[in-house]
Amino acid sequence: MKIKILKQTDNELKIEIEGAGHGVCSLLQKKLLENKTVDQAGYDVPHPLASNPVIYVRTKGKGSPKQALIDAAQEAREDNQAFGKALASAFE
């Protein structure tokens, strides 16, 4: 999975994620919107057959959009690990 930074300022970040789908982008958007420093977060898939999704984050005040995205990815990873453990336990 390759990530390309399209725009980066103190309060805005726009990245393109090669090979990601709606599942990853939707999860990141949800986690970003739970962050109190995030003013706006969303994603777009310009064309479902030929385009890579673009994620946009805008933060309030001194919040870093880069750190907000890193935190969102970490929270998503932790949630997925917890789900994997619960699923394995359910099948035992």
Instruction: List pLDDT tens digits, range 37-86.
Output: 999 999 999 887 778 999 999 999 889 999 999 999 999 999 999 999 99
Domain count, the chain: 1
Residue 80, SS3? Answer: helix
Mean pLDDT of 22-41: 95
pLDDT of residue 30: 97
Domain span including residue 29: 2-90
pLDDT of residue 25: 93
DSSP secondary structure letter of residue 10: S
β-bridge mates for residue 71, sequence order: none
30-54 CB burial, b ≥16 within 10 A, e <16: ebbeebebbbebebeeeeeeeebbb
The Cα–Cα gap between 3 and 5 comes to 7
| Domain harbouring 54, CATH code | 3.30.1360.10
Q: In three state form, how does the secondary structure of 30-72 look?
A: HHHHCCCCEEEEEEECCCCCCCCCEEEEEECCCCCHHHHHHHH
